[in-house]
Amino acid sequence: MSEKALMLSDDIERALVRIAHEIEERNKGSERVVLVGMQTRGVPLAGRLAVIIQGLGETTIPVGSLDIGLYRDDLSSLDLKPVIHRTDVPADVTGKHVVLVDDVFYTGRSIRAAMDAIMDLGRPESIQLAVLVDRGHRELPIRADYVGKNIPTSIYEEIKVYVKEVEGEDKVTVLTPDREVTDESN
């Protein structure tokens, strides 16, 4: 395995600032915006986006955290079930623009689960998706509204996102297996 850095602290901050502006523009301000971070790393990212958006306008943005464990579509086929953390969405989502925030956008399955979880909390006006990294390989018809960086990957690679609040530093790296295994190998 070799690990290569793709984004550093400054890149991540610039991406978040741009996404914050895009959220403001798309929703014509931030009055009815609720940010919901997906456990684990989406939560601090949502918090940072809120701070940036609050710096642009005068409104306070509600920030929540969402655990999708109870909504996963693979729950009955997992050997180890996930620990479930408390979902904490401080505002009523009905009539709001809910922006889901996650670190890596991959198959789209966790976003599907997150949308179900949000719908159980109320009826938002819209659900939007902001991700720090889009690595492709979607398995469901889902797309992101705000993307920090598109990183085309092989499915054998692993994208790792480090955030200050969890790992103590900000960076995005790709882990590549030493010997590339290809789909056409047999």
- Residues near another protein, by CB under 8 A: 13, 17, 37, 39-40, 43-44, 47-48, 50-52, 54-55, 60-65, 67, 69-71, 75-88, 90, 116-117, 120-122, 165-166
Residue 37 or 148 with smaller CB distance to another protein: 37
Residue 16 or 159 with smaller CB distance to another protein: 16
Amino acid at 123: R
Residue 89 or 174 with smaller CB distance to another protein: 89
Backbone angles phi, psi at 156, to 5 degrees: -85, -10
Beta carbon of residue 126, minimum distance to another protein (angstroms, whole number): 20
Beta carbon of residue 86, minimum distance to another protein (angstroms, whole number): 5
Q: What is the spatial order of strands in the sheet that 2-7 belongs to?
A: 2-7, 171-176, 158-162
Q: Rounded to whole angstroms, how far apart are CA atoms 98 and 96?
A: 6
Beta carbon of residue 160, minimum distance to another protein (angstroms, whole number): 17
Give CB contacts under 8 A, 24+ apart, made by 135-138.
135/104, 135/105, 135/106, 135/159, 136/106, 137/106, 137/107, 138/106, 138/107, 138/108
Question: Is residue 83 classed as helix, strand or coil in its secondary structure?
Answer: coil
Structural element, H or E, at residue 113: helix 109-121
Beta carbon of residue 46, minimum distance to another protein (angstroms, whole number): 8
Residue 5 or 51 with smaller CB distance to another protein: 51
Beta carbon of residue 61, minimum distance to another protein (angstroms, whole number): 7
Structural element, H or E, at residue 147: strand 146-150
Residue 88 or 139 with smaller CB distance to another protein: 88
